[in-house]
Structure 1
Amino acid sequence: MVEVLLGKYEVGRLLGCGAFAKVYYARNIKDGQSVAIKVINKKKLSGTTLMSNIKREITIMRRLHHPSIVRLFEVLASKSKIYFILELVKGGELFAKVAKGRFSEDLARNYFGQLLSAIAYCHSRGVYHRDLKPENLLLDENGNLKVSDFGLSALKLDDNTNNHLLQTLCGTPAYVAPEILAKKGYDGAKVDIWSCGIILYVLTAGYLPFNDPNLMAMYKKIYKGEYRCPKWMSSDLKRLLSRLLDTNPATRFSVDQIIRDPWLAKAKDQDSTFHLTVSDETSHQLDTAGSSSTSSSSCSLNAFDLISFSSGLDLSGLFHDPFNPIVHSERFLSAEPASKILDQIERAASSENAKVKRNKDAHAVDLEGPKAHFVARLEITPLTDQLLVVEAKTKAGDSASFTLFWTNKIRPHLSGLLYEPPPLTITHAAADASIVL
């Protein structure tokens, strides 16, 4: 008997299994589309820090729409499980293919170009993967690369803070960058570039550049940048690898420099499945040939976005993690112009003895509470051509005081600005009510 999830998906064979999740093949009943369903057991996450990782993974994946990145279609949740409905990638892991033998430089260049396209796209949207390795690179039925598993990814920190470096120690040992080992903070983009260098080495050499049965000995090699290129590598490739595997992140190649490198430039003279373009700004976007680029100022709003703003359905209980609380933010949707929203917030704050400080950013202000108990950052971001999201987060001071002040003092003044999404249907499955996000 075929199991049906929420009357939407026929769930089939098991595709893979991990410590906290299982992945199944499934078919959308309505349109027949094949998908992969990642099922996460919430009970197994109890007492760990992984629940917040899942929330972040959802937030990140819903903003990524690129041909070389596995697509998240929607998220379903129940009392005991979380379901990721993902693009089905039928070709398996790139790791399985390279395990059979090293690639020619032409084939490696093709895959590396697609990987670079995806990573440049992520970085242009403030997303750092932090766990790039061949096991997380999948191949579709046409042999095209797809980046997967954003469970350890991070979002770019607020540019207005003095500390723009990431601190979390994460990644797979053989692919980890030396600055992570130094524990002094690191640039997420440069860490991804290092991992791309490791991947390129593995594709063309057939083995890891830094490897040792003793983990500490391997870390010492990584920290010192001690590796050797095999004799069959071209001089151009060896030179590129030396710039990718530069132990100094300040001088390590950027995406721009990689694009212009002679070794990758050879792809322009070949029949490649990827296309590289360089923008005039520091954040560059690389798009796969034939795909349409997405504006960085506006993104499509899916069901998960909408439900998070709905006053009629609070999903916070699904993700509550007492061992790793997440900084709370207040947000709402509005169809009004940004200028009108900021003016209304300023009037509301003034009437409640709070101060609003405007700065160079026309779509952001700082809100200082009465008696300076807190300072909050209010930002307005376009989601569609018609809708804006207003988000307020504590910048300094007492978060609880800010939450109470916003809820009881500011929000009542904003009722005329709020956009309420249409009602969403809650579907009850037998013995386990599930909610479509």
Structure 2
Amino acid sequence: MQRSQQQGQEGQGSSSTPPPGSGSDGGGGGGKKPRTKTMKPVAAAHLAALRGRYELLRSKGNGSFADVWEARHLRTGHRVAVKIISHAKLADEFAGDVDREIAAMRLLRHHPHIAHLHEAIRGADHTYIVMELAASGDLYDYVDAADRSRLSEPEARRIFRQLVAGVAFRHRNMVVHRDLKLDNVLLDADGNVKVADFGLSDVWSHERLLSRSCGSPEYVAPEVMEGRHYRGPEVDVWSCGVILYVMLSGRMPFEGADLSDVARKVRRGSYVVPAWVSDDARDLIAGMLVVRQEKRATIAEVMAHRWLSSPADTPPFPPYLRMMPPPDAAALRARARVAAVDADAVELLVTRHGFERNAGLIESLRLDDESSEVHAAAVAYQLVLRNKYGAAALYQQLLSMPPPPPAEMAPRRRQWVLGGGLNGGELLLHECPCTTMRRIARALRQLGVRILSYHSHRMACAHIASDGGGGSDATFRSFLHRQNDGVGGDGGASRSSSASVRSAATFRSFLRHNDGGASSSLMMSSSAPEMSNNILRSLSAAVIFEIELFKAGEGEHDPQQQRQYALHLKRTSGPQLPYLRVCSQLASKLRPQIS
């Protein structure tokens, strides 16, 4: 078994990684890569930035632009991990990853299986992310040190339960990790999972698609490998499938002589499960490693799988891991603000750790302000609490509290369906994807919409309103017919047609230039017919939009919605009002099939 090729650093999580193929070397196979420990001297800048708060003890690992150190919190003596990110080494294109990592960790800090963020310290040249220390290292080393370099199914089940519970919590709170791998799954002193390294995380929603290709090639989903758009949660599910496969088999599911070989196997979903893996585990892996993202299991389906139930050889599933849907992070934060302060912990802060007992101390322990001395008290308080009770007990305590008053809750964006927004939306349908896409194509043809490209779960479409007999509409349709000959609207479309792709690209390019008055890009096309100025004016009113079908259910965790498919529409060019009119008409035609 070999570490992922995009491994950024060792020990307490890796540094944010560039997209696949952007600078890593080596192949996907060839045995275990030796792991070296580089001891680095403590820079004077770090000593100055952390003076009076933390003492750096030893290097845990280093990467291209981030180092991780084990450190001691000076006032309490508790050990923490400090991730030191160099601004000078960080490429401009990845500068925003640091802010996203801090924001994601702050939002998710209450879950026991996500690395707890104590604080973030920003300096002129470095950013210091202080998090809980994972004393047992990462899951890669844990699996590699096991008998035959693989885990027993009971042990793999225990770890995987904690992992997917953390993933479900992230998805419930609209965060997708995008870099899940053994290197980023850390283990505390008791062997409990702590997911770290949120540098490539992002906010996902029902209203937009993600497109960034990132992560480690051996763990990324096919749609990410190919640079296609994706919703977000489904790529984490794929990575979880890879992690489970490695825990049970001791090797990567997609290995090859080089990156291109690995990529080819990932795109095909070509892997072999060893004979010793149980049938239930095989079934779960097969549900997660599905190439077509709309067919892939959701995280709710993964958690409900029979392999993760409680057989005799595994301890019972803890109640806090079974909670579906997972709790809202804003609700947990609101409960933490009104939770009773632990008197014993406060006494320790005053008698042992040098804090002054006054009227503002208790209130300061609930604040998230990181700019003053009161935050230092809050950090020390959390270190004392987590050392005394453990992360799981504190999490269950928050869950047992009554719901917070509405005034304490942070507002959440409402999820909407088609008609609830200005530039796109979703329809939820229950039929299988093939049937659904045929119905959509038939409805579009009835509305006079031309399909420029047709794939198994996505389309590119064009529409222009009638010009009242001026001829531009007919010429427009003639152009589409010549560019896209053979693309019909009711399942007769030529799938992945090169002509249809060229047609869509030609019109998108033309319409982008035509907004500024230029029309030469289309007129100079060798395949474009000659058009009058009147026709060109009509073409500027053409609406180009895309349709994509996704499996719904991520983030909702409603069993009745797990078999729904979400139809996402997005206008890529052209005026908004005609686009909304087409959306409304399409919704009316599909209404009998809509939930």
Q: Aligning the two structures, in what range does the TM-score lie when normalised by the shorter sequence? A: 0.5 to 0.7
RMSD: 3.3
Q: 1:401: which partner in 2?
A: none
Q: Would the aligned equivalents of 1:236 and 1:262 in 2 still touch at CA under 8 Å?
A: yes
Superposition deviation, residue 207 in structure 1: 0.2
Q: 2:98: which partner in 1?
A: 54
Once the two structures are superposed, residues 139-162 of structure 1 have per-residue CA deviations (whole angstroms, 9 ceiling, x without a partner) of 1111111101111111124x4x4x
Superposition deviation, residue 304 in structure 1: 4.2
Q: Would the aligned equivalents of 1:125 and 1:296 in 2 still touch at CA under 8 Å?
A: no
Q: 1:25: which partner in 2?
A: 70
Q: 2:139: which partner in 1?
A: 94
**Aligned pair partner of 1:198 in 242, 245, 257:** 242
Compared with structure 1, are the counterparts of its residues 113 and 99 closer, same or farther at alpha carbon in structure 2 (3 Å cutoff)? same
Q: Which amino acid aligns with 2:251?
A: Y
**Aligned pair partner of 1:105 in 153, 163, 172:** 153
Distance, in Å, in 1 between the alignment partners of 2:121 and 2:317 is 34
Q: Secondary structure at the match of 1:233?
A: coil
Deviates more, 1:223-232 or 1:10-19: 10-19
Q: Secondary structure at the match of 2:69?
A: strand
More helix by share: 2
Q: 2:298: which partner in 1?
A: 254
> How do residues 285-296 of structure 1 correspond to structure 2 at under 5 angstroms?
285=326, 295=331
Segments ≥4 residues shifted beyond 6 Å: 358-361
Q: Secondary structure at the match of 2:274?
A: coil
Normalising to structure 2: TM-score of the pair? 0.47
**Aligned pair partner of 1:207 in 251, 257, 261:** 251
Q: How many residues align?
A: 304
Distance, in Å, in 2 between the alignment partners of 1:232 and 1:360 is 46
Q: 1:132: which partner in 2?
A: 180
1:232 aligns with 2:273: no
**Aligned pair partner of 2:307 in 255, 260, 263:** 263
Superposition deviation, residue 194 in structure 1: 0.3
Q: Would the aligned equivalents of 2:310 and 2:316 in 1 still touch at CA under 8 Å?
A: no
Q: Would the aligned equivalents of 1:359 and 1:365 in 2 still touch at CA under 8 Å?
A: no
Distance, in Å, in 2 between the alignment partners of 1:107 and 1:93 is 15
Compared with structure 1, are the counterparts of its residues 273 and 39 closer, same or farther at alpha carbon in structure 2 (3 Å cutoff)? farther
1:70 aligns with 2:90: no
Q: Which amino acid aligns with 1:257?
A: E
Q: Would the aligned equivalents of 1:110 and 1:272 in 2 still touch at CA under 8 Å?
A: no
Once the two structures are superposed, residues 13-67 of structure 1 have per-residue CA deviations (whole angstroms, 9 ceiling, x without a partner) of 112111111111211122222111111111112x521211101111111101211
Superposition deviation, residue 174 in structure 1: 0.4
Q: Would the aligned equivalents of 1:94 and 1:139 in 2 still touch at CA under 8 Å?
A: yes
Once the two structures are superposed, residues 104-140 of structure 1 have per-residue CA deviations (whole angstroms, 9 ceiling, x without a partner) of 1111101100100110011111111100111111111
Q: Would the aligned equivalents of 2:310 and 2:317 in 1 still touch at CA under 8 Å?
A: no
Q: Which amino acid aligns with 2:94?
A: L
1:151 aligns with 2:199: yes
1:188 aligns with 2:237: no
Q: Secondary structure at the match of 1:204?
A: helix
Q: Which amino acid aligns with 1:106?
A: P
Q: Secondary structure at the match of 2:200?
A: coil
Q: 1:37: which partner in 2?
A: 82
Compared with structure 1, are the counterparts of its residues 67 and 278 closer, same or farther at alpha carbon in structure 2 (3 Å cutoff)? closer
Compared with structure 1, are the counterparts of its residues 226 and 365 closer, same or farther at alpha carbon in structure 2 (3 Å cutoff)? closer
Distance, in Å, in 1 between the alignment partners of 2:76 and 2:333 is 31
Q: 1:122: which partner in 2?
A: 170
Q: Would the aligned equivalents of 1:113 and 1:274 in 2 still touch at CA under 8 Å?
A: no
Distance, in Å, in 2 between the alignment partners of 1:212 and 1:233 is 22
Distance, in Å, in 2 between the alignment partners of 1:268 and 1:55 is 44
Compared with structure 1, are the counterparts of its residues 305 and 110 closer, same or farther at alpha carbon in structure 2 (3 Å cutoff)? farther
Q: Would the aligned equivalents of 1:177 and 1:194 in 2 still touch at CA under 8 Å?
A: yes
Deviates more, 1:255-264 or 1:115-124: 255-264
Compared with structure 1, are the counterparts of its residues 206 and 94 closer, same or farther at alpha carbon in structure 2 (3 Å cutoff)? same
Compared with structure 1, are the counterparts of its residues 62 and 20 closer, same or farther at alpha carbon in structure 2 (3 Å cutoff)? same
Q: Which amino acid aligns with 2:129?
A: F
Distance, in Å, in 2 between the alignment partners of 1:122 and 1:216 is 31
Distance, in Å, in 2 between the alignment partners of 1:57 and 1:245 is 27
Unaligned runs of 5+ in 2: 1-40, 338-366, 374-405, 423-595
- Bigger radius of gyration: 2
Q: Would the aligned equivalents of 2:204 and 2:231 in 1 still touch at CA under 8 Å?
A: no
**Higher relative contact order (Cα pairs below 8 Å, separated by 6+ residues):** 1
Q: Secondary structure at the match of 2:309?
A: helix
Q: Secondary structure at the match of 1:40?
A: strand
Unaligned runs of 5+ in 1: 288-292, 308-335, 342-357, 367-437
Superposition deviation, residue 296 in structure 1: 6.1
Q: Would the aligned equivalents of 1:109 and 1:267 in 2 still touch at CA under 8 Å?
A: no
Distance, in Å, in 2 between the alignment partners of 1:306 and 1:249 is 46
Equivalent pairs: percent with the same residue?
Answer: 36
Deviates more, 1:246-255 or 1:112-121: 246-255
